[in-house]
Amino acid sequence: MKLSDFNYNLPKNQIAKYPISPRDKAKLLVVHKDTGEMEDKHFYDIIDYMNEGDVVVVNETKVFQARLFGKKEKTNAKIEVFLLRELNKNDYIWDVIVDPARKVRIGNKIYFSDSLWCEIIDNTTSRGRTVRFNQPNVFELVEKIGYTPLPPYIKRDPEPSDKENYQTVYAKVPGSVAAPTAGLHFTDKLIQKIQKKGIKFVPVILHIGLGTFRPVDVEDLSKHRMDSEYYEIPPSSAEVINEAIKNNKNVFIVGTSTCRALETSTTAEGFIKPNKGWTDKFIYPPYQFKVTKKLITNFHAPESTLILLVAALLGTDLTMKAYKKAVKDKYRFLSYGDAMLIL
């Protein structure tokens, strides 16, 4: 497989700048991988493909307000600090990206408010820095002063509505700088309706980093390296998923992040192991999935790691055929766009 096999023409006007309201009115392209059949539906129709005893696995990570704007001590130069991840909880140390990087050196302090500032303690990449904050409750404080980290392809400034829109209704654990976008289509009402049908929702966590938007810049896919991301699979979730697998029930996996968490921690017999840690799992064709058979996902950018995962499950030819249809039929693409259900 070569990277160029996963290129397609994505018209800019089909990159969604805002979500559909209500969320579950987004379009849904249902693709049957065994027959190649495709159906045009709406997301609220997804319940029709689920039966009593089935399981829906969701990523409960919560997007935090990762974009901060502060002033450098002495000069008052405006500096953007994009929080990536907490490295050391006890010492308040974080991995960040700064802009403009040329103005930020080791030892500089950047002030965000009367109560929050950080000191640069190391350089990591050209724009990357390691910083130490002056206090522990960073997650709590940035919710008040930070901005929603919209993806770079949404060409507008964050708005107050994005704080709610760019978040799943079941988000619980802060840690992501990008939303698990397949889950954005669920409403509380739709979840309740699905649960009433005897279908269980079970959580896992994978905190999504900026690497999800990083382009693949090698034609030979085996040479691409994913960023490491923290994940957790609780024992209770593994138990429910494994019970469904044993009973030949469907397990619907919501999003590529959920898929990667689960595929990182499987047994030789094709069951899920409870686990927590870091994963840099890169799924691309050909790949033998251990537990993922049914996937809910969005439409992803050309030549991205996300479309590669979809192609590994659906097959390259059928994936590109489905994307061609989605472009032709004016589906909306990327984070705030429409959805696909792979059966």
Read off the pLDDT of residues 138-182 as tens digits, 9 standing for 90 and up: 988 899 999 999 998 999 989 999 999 999 999 999 999 999 999
Residue ending a domain, among 118, 145, 172, is 145
270: left (phi over 0), alpha (psi -120 to 50) or beta: left
**Domain presence at residue 317:** yes
Residue ending a domain, among 145, 175, 209, is 145
Q: E strands within the chain?
A: 27-31, 38-42, 55-59, 61-63, 67-72, 78-88, 93-99, 109-111, 117-123, 128-133, 173-176, 200-206, 229-233, 251-254, 275-279, 294-298, 339-342
Q: Kindly state whether residues 90 and 185 are assigned to the same domain.
A: no
Q: Which two tokens stand for residue 327?
A: 């472009």
Q: Kindly state whether residues 101 and 211 are assigned to the same domain.
A: no
Q: Kindly state whether residues 298 and 195 are assigned to the same domain.
A: yes
Q: How many percent of the chain have pLDDT more than 70? A: 100
Q: Which domain holds residue 115?
A: 67-145
Q: What predicted TM-score, i.e. pTM, was given to this entire model?
A: 0.92
Q: Kindly state whether residues 88 and 54 are assigned to the same domain.
A: no
Q: Kindly state whether residues 105 and 229 are assigned to the same domain.
A: no
Query: In the chain, how many domains are there?
Result: 2
Q: In degrees, to the nearest 5, what angle opens at C-alpha 294 toward C-alphas 257 and 250?
A: 120
Backbone angles phi, psi at 324, to 5 degrees: -65, -40
Residue 235 CA to residue 200 CA, distance in Å, equals: 15
Read off the pLDDT of residues 12-63 as tens digits, 9 standing for 90 and up: 999 999 999 999 999 999 999 999 999 999 999 999 999 999 999 999 999 9
> What average pLDDT does range 170-199 have in this prediction?
97
Read off the pLDDT of residues 258-309 as tens digits, 9 standing for 90 and up: 999 999 999 999 999 999 999 999 999 999 999 999 999 999 999 999 999 9
Q: Which two tokens stand for residue 200?
A: 């269980």
What single DSSP character describes residue 226? Answer: P
More confident residue, 18 or 89: 18
Q: Kindly state whether residues 58 and 73 are assigned to the same domain.
A: no
The enclosing domain of 331 has a CATH number of 3.40.1780.10
Q: Which two tokens stand for residue 340?
A: 């696909």
